[in-house]
Amino acid sequence: MRTKTTISEIDAQIETLRVKRKNLLVKANERFARMAQKAGLAELDIPDGELDAIFAEIVTRFRERVRGADGPSA
């Protein structure tokens, strides 16, 4: 028979997941920072709004590529 999960156990699990999430975000941020530096973006004076638009275009392009690889969904 399954034992009852306590609120403190759930809170501990939530905290563990928060730490894992934070670590994943830090690793992703470091990865993108390395790529930007390697590509020379860190040396360019590009306004944040323009960078946002460029990254949005990149995301759209790669999401479309992933959708295309999945094939038709019906």
- Establish how many alpha carbons lie within 13 A of residue 66's alpha carbon, considering only the half-sphere containing its beta carbon: 6
> Given this model, what pLDDT does residue 69 score?
78
pLDDT tens-place string over residues 13-38: 999 999 999 999 999 999 999 999 99
> Given this model, what pLDDT does residue 21 score?
99
Measured over the CA atoms of residue 57, residue 23, residue 43 and residue 47, the dihedral's sign is positive
Measure the CA–CA gap between 72 and 35, rounded to whole angstroms: 33
For tokens 């973006």, the residue is 41
- What are the percentages of helix, strand and coil residues in the chain, rounded to 5? 80, 0, 20
Q: What is the mean pLDDT of residues 31-46?
A: 92
